[in-house]
Structure formats: structure tokens, C-alpha cells
Amino acid sequence: MLADTCFLFCELARGSGKTTHILASRLDRVQNSMPGAIIVLAADTYRSIFDNILPGILEYFNEHYERGVYFEIGKEPPRHFKPCTTFIADWKHTISFCNGCVVQFVSCDRPESMLGKNAAHLFVDEMLRIPEEKFLERIIPALRADRSKFGDSPYFMGISGFSSTPNFETDEDWFLAYEKDMNKKLIDHIQEIAYEVDLRRQKLEIVRKSLDLEETTTLERFIDRWEKRLADLRRNQTFYIRASSFSNLKYLGIDYIKNQIKSIKDKDKLYTSIFAIRKLKVKDMFFGKFGKQHLFDDGYDYTCIDKLSADEKIEDSCRHLIYYDRSQPLYAGYDAGPFSSIVFAQRKKVKKEFRILKNMWVYHPDQQDELARKINDFFEGGRKVLYIHYDRAANQKDPEWKKYYPGYKDKGVNDTDAVLLKKELTALGWAVHLLSTKQKTIFMSQHYRLLQLLFGKQDKKRDKILIDKNECEQLISSINHSPLKRHEGRVILDKSSERLPFEEQVYNSTQLATAFMYLLWGEYYKLLPDSDQPDNIPIGAGTYMS
């Protein structure tokens, strides 16, 4: 990267090599520039560092260097490594380098992770998931290294921020303002000079082999003189990059772009994820009053994760969830079909909260047995009692869609989808209660009015609906892909996105949002006026107590 300024912000599309080729290589240059310094790697959650960032960083360093010689991760470095200027008591969650530089991890959901940090540079990934106030209050204060030791580096007290293009109203977009801080004319000059210096470096390697001492000395003086000037120019400057997938076309190939255009049917997703075009505010959403206030991001318990070293993988399990009560049953909304989705929740009666803890899905050819296995694996160790809400389609013994997927009939055409799921879970030791066995049609307009009520202004009399931002990322995306439309004077949910290929429906269709609606209807339909009450609601279909 020619500009390589003190402050670097990258808004990058899919396939751009954000972590492996840009973040990791930048980290390599920064640590080389400040031997013995502390560098901080930050994210919205501590778990995200393990799951999403470290694998890409390790891929880069394992490809270019030898572990234990140039770098080490998750354990005390070898004796030949130079000491860090800061004492490190626990090496489990660090990346260390042979020059004494050490990378430590911090996150917004663990304020205590910032304590005692004296970082010379910050690396922040997926900024669209980090609220601005948390960035300013919890991450920025870690920038306070000793200028007398590291102040000569152009990266000193700098920030390297990376993110996808914000797509939804629930995404954070505050970091886009950094684009205005860029001095484009100065950046152009920096790039021109850096390019000339790089050319001289290449020539120097050739000249050294020819043993031309005079030319070698001339080139070395040129490089030394202009590198110092480049360092001064880069100091305190901002470089903002917004790049589409075309930026990595050399490695991806044009066929990748063509395939993405063909396969991604959702235009909004195509524009943001491939072309890095920012989405305008969407109007008329079915979940119109849903917003950031209905999300929580402090849902992880790090007791088990803290025992792992940085190179170990975190098991996907309910034991990491703070708000999951293992002694209490689960409530679920289930949307059956060739794409089956399910959303899980628990109620906190004292606090008047209804927390959505997890979402899951399977699609053809996987069936109820695979979904049941996923449920059992994740919630292993908890109370195996499940109350399920669903629509009347899950009560049909031979729904129309099964004609197009013959494999589903192998399980027994006389069983409904709801009963099939119950049988599979029962075989795994679960007690399953089907709460919608006599469910009649609930109109979308009724769902809409209930959603307006539940996500509207809180009156402290009803439960507050809260969704785990980290464990229910797909549900949140589905909610944001649930447009409202009107037909013959009625409000309905536009479910055209459910015609997408199955693998795209996870994030970009109404599937998970529909399962969520069934859960909310079953639990809270009694809040609606009598005119909106269905003719026949089975006993137990609503457990809300006013």
C-alpha cells in the first residue's frame, strides 16, 4: 500500500481480502516500525476476534513466515524474541513478534479488556458493528504509548479501521465521516513518492547482485533520504479507501464477479457486498419500528473462552451465553418448509424482558433430523424443554411444497412438519410442546399491528423484546429484508425473497423473520384488541400474563 498513512480506514466489499491481505500485511508493517510496542486489536465482541479475525491474520503470517521464529501466538514467545517494553503476565491471548512487539485483544463487550493497555496503534475490524460512543469511550483511551520510545514511527498513535459497507438501519455508519479527513492532494504526492522509492528498492536488489558499489550507494542514499520524508508526510494523515470486489480482480478473476452478479438476486446485497455502494434508507419495512434499541451485544460469558489460547477454536455452545438460563425452558418460533428456520427465546419475568438468544436453519435436502441435531448440540447441558409456536402450514400432513421435494416424504407423509420435529427432538431427550396444533390462519395485517405494538414506545407494562446482535445476525438481516406492501387495502409481508436460492435465503429473505413473527404472535397476541383476536387460538398458544 503506497499511501500507508498513520490513520487508515478501509470500507471494503466481499472478496477484497480485507483481513488476510490488507489488515494482516498492515499489521506486519506497523509492528516492524515499532519494536517492543503494544498494538491493540479491537472488535465489537471478544469472540469475534477468535472467530472472524485471527484465522485470516494467521493465514497471512503462516504463509509468509515461520511460527516460533518470526512470530508466536497464544503462548510465551521463544527466548530469542526481544522483550516487550510492557510486562506481559498472560500470553494466551496475544500475538508476539521477534522484535518484541506484542498484539493484545480488546472488545466493546468487555470494557475490562481495555484496562492497563498502553497501545502505540489500534487495529479495529468490522466497525459497522461498533457504536460510536463505545469506540470513543472504550477503545480510543487505550492509545497512550510512550512517545519518547515510539514517536519516530509514522504509525504512532494511529488507527487502522476496517469494515464492510453499512447496509441496514441497524448498522453503524459513524466511521464514514473519516473520509472527509483525507487530504487527497497530499495523499497523491505520498503515493507518487512511495512509488519512486519502491522502484529504487527493486533496482537496488538487482544492483547489489552485480556488485556495483557506486550505484548501490547512490540508491541507498536516495531510499534513506526519501523514506524519512515519507514518514513525516504520513504522520497524522488519513487515507480512506472504499473499494468494491473489483479491487481484488487479479486474484478473484472476472468469473467470480459474473457468478456473484448471477447468484445474488437481492440488489441491495449486490450493491453493498460486491460494489461497495452505500444503501439508502429503506422505507415501508414490515418491522417498521424495529431499531438498534431492540438489540443487545453483551451476551457472551467468557469464563470458558478465557481458558483458551488465541490459536484454539471456540465451540459453538449455549454455555457461552450470559442471558441463557439453563434451568428454564426455551420458547421457539418455527417456520417449516424446504427452508426451515427456528428462533429461540427466554423470558425474564422480573425485568419484563423477552430475549431472543439464537436462530437456526436447515434447507433441502436436510430435514427435521438435522435441525433437531443442531438444536440438541447447541443447547446441550440446558433444560431440554421446548415450547414451539408455528403457523398452520406446519400442521398439514401433506403440504403442497412436499410434491417438489420427494425426499421429505421418506420420513412419513402422514406426519406434519411440527410433529416430525417433535419426534426427532423427543428421541434426543427433549420434552416438546406444540402450541399451535389447531392454529387457524393469522393474517399478515394482524402480525403487522402486533409488531407495531411490541416494537413501539415502551410502556413498562409489557415485555421488552431484545435480540442478541451476535448470535442472531441472520435474523436481524432477515428483519431488514422484510418489506411491507399493500394488496387490496391490506398490509402484507412481501415474501418474494423466498424465491432466492436456499443458501442466499439465510440472510436475504423473510424466512427467519417469519419464524420470529410466529414466536411473537404466540406469546403476545393477547395484547391486541378483541377485533384482532383469531377465532380459534389453542390453549397455551399465548403465555403472556398482563
Mind giving me the DSSP string for 65-116? S-BTTTEEESSPPPTTSPPPSS--S--TTEEEETTS-EEEEEETTBGGGGTT
Residues 77 and 161 in one domain: yes
Q: What is the DSSP letter of 467?
A: E
Residue 462 corresponds to which cell in the numbers above? 409489557
Q: Calculate helix-pair angle for 368-378, 417-427, nearest 10 degrees.
A: 50
Residue 540 counted as domain residue: no
The HSE-up count of residue 482 (CA atoms within 13 Å, CB side) is: 28
Residue 391 counted as domain residue: yes
Residues 377 and 440 in one domain: yes
Q: Are 506 and 481 in contact (CB under 8 A)?
A: no
Residue 53 corresponds to which cell in the numbers above? 479475525
Q: What is the pairing mode between strands 94-97 and 71-73?
A: antiparallel
Q: Any idea which residue has 483481513 for its cell?
A: 19
Residue 539 counted as domain residue: no
Q: Are 47 and 305 in contact (CB under 8 A)?
A: yes
Residue 541 counted as domain residue: no
Residue 543 counted as domain residue: no
Three-class secondary structure assignment of 331-367 = EEEEECCCEEEEEEEEEECCCCEEEEEEEEEEECCCC
Residues 460 and 514 in one domain: yes
User: Percent of the chain at pLDDT above 70?
Assistant: 86
Residue 452 corresponds to which cell in the numbers above? 407495531
What are the residues whose beta carbons fall under 8 Å from the beta carbon of 63, sequence distance 6 or more? none
Alpha-carbon distance of 400 to 278, in angstroms, equals 39
Residue 544 counted as domain residue: no
Out of 254, 281, 308, a domain closes at: 281
Number of neighbours of residue 173 by Cβ within 10 angstroms: 18
Alpha-carbon distance of 546 to 541, in angstroms, equals 15
Q: Are 261 and 270 in contact (CB under 8 A)?
A: yes
**Strand ranges inside 177-290, DSSP E:** 238-243
Residues 177 and 187 in one domain: no
Q: 318-345 in b/e burial notation, b at 16+ Cβ within 10 A?
A: bbbbbbbbeeebbbbbbbbbbbbbbbbb
Domain count, the chain: 3
Burial class (CB in 10 A: 0-12, 13-18, 19+), 422: buried
Residue 49 corresponds to which cell in the numbers above? 476476534
Residue 67 counted as domain residue: yes
Q: What is the DSSP letter of 314?
A: P
pLDDT tens digits, 251-267: 555 665 566 565 555 56
* Amino acid 246: pLDDT: 58
Parent domain of 197 = 183-236
Q: Any idea which residue has 459453538 for its cell?
A: 316
Q: Are 485 and 313 in contact (CB under 8 A)?
A: no
Query: For the whole model, what pTM was predicted?
Result: 0.84
Amino acid identity, position 205: E
Residues 103 and 19 in one domain: yes
Q: Any idea which residue has 451465553 for its cell?
A: 321
Alpha-carbon distance of 74 to 307, in angstroms, equals 11
Per-residue confidence of the chain (546 residues) as pLDDT tens digits? 789 999 999 988 766 678 888 999 999 999 999 999 999 999 999 999 999 999 999 999 999 999 999 999 999 999 999 999 999 999 999 999 999 999 999 999 998 998 889 999 999 999 999 999 999 988 998 899 999 999 999 999 999 999 988 876 778 889 999 999 999 999 999 999 999 999 999 999 999 988 889 999 999 999 999 999 999 999 999 999 987 655 555 555 566 556 656 555 556 666 565 555 555 555 688 998 999 999 999 999 999 999 999 999 999 999 999 999 999 999 999 999 899 999 999 999 999 999 999 999 999 889 899 999 999 999 999 999 999 999 877 776 666 666 655 565 555 556 788 999 999 999 999 999 999 887 777 889 999 999 999 999 888 789 999 999 999 999 999 998 899 988 877 889 999 889 888 988 998 899 999 999 999 999 999 998 877 776 544 444 443 332
| CA 40, 41, 44, 47 torsion-angle sign | negative
Amino acid identity, position 440: K
Residues 253 and 401 in one domain: no
Residue 194 corresponds to which cell in the numbers above? 512511495
Residues 254 and 155 in one domain: yes
Residues 231 and 366 in one domain: no
Cα angle for residues 163, 65, 146 (degrees, 5° grid): 60
Q: What is the pairing mode between strands 94-97 and 339-348?
A: unpaired
Residues 221 and 241 in one domain: no
Contacts 24+ apart (CB under 8 A), 171-175: 171/128, 171/129, 172/127, 172/128, 172/129, 172/130, 172/131, 172/132, 173/128, 173/278, 174/131, 174/132, 174/135, 175/9, 175/11, 175/127, 175/128, 175/132
The CA-atom distances, in angstroms, between 486 and each of 53, 282, 456, 517 are 43, 16, 21, 18
Could you tell me the CATH number of the domain that includes residue 359? Answer: 3.30.420.280
Could you tell me the CATH number of the domain that includes residue 93? Answer: 3.40.50.300
The SS3 of residue 205 is helix
Residues 231 and 106 in one domain: no
Distance linking the first and last C-alpha atoms of the chain: 61
Q: In which element (H, E) is residue 273 found?
A: helix 267-273
Out of 281, 311, 340, a domain closes at: 281
What are the residues whose beta carbons fall under 8 Å from the beta carbon of 185, sequence distance 6 or more? none
* Amino acid 439: pLDDT: 75
Q: 379-395 in b/e burial notation, b at 16+ Cβ within 10 A?
A: beebebebbbbbbebbb
Residue 286 counted as domain residue: no
Alpha-carbon distance of 68 to 414, in angstroms, equals 61
Residues 157 and 18 in one domain: yes
Residues 204 and 343 in one domain: no
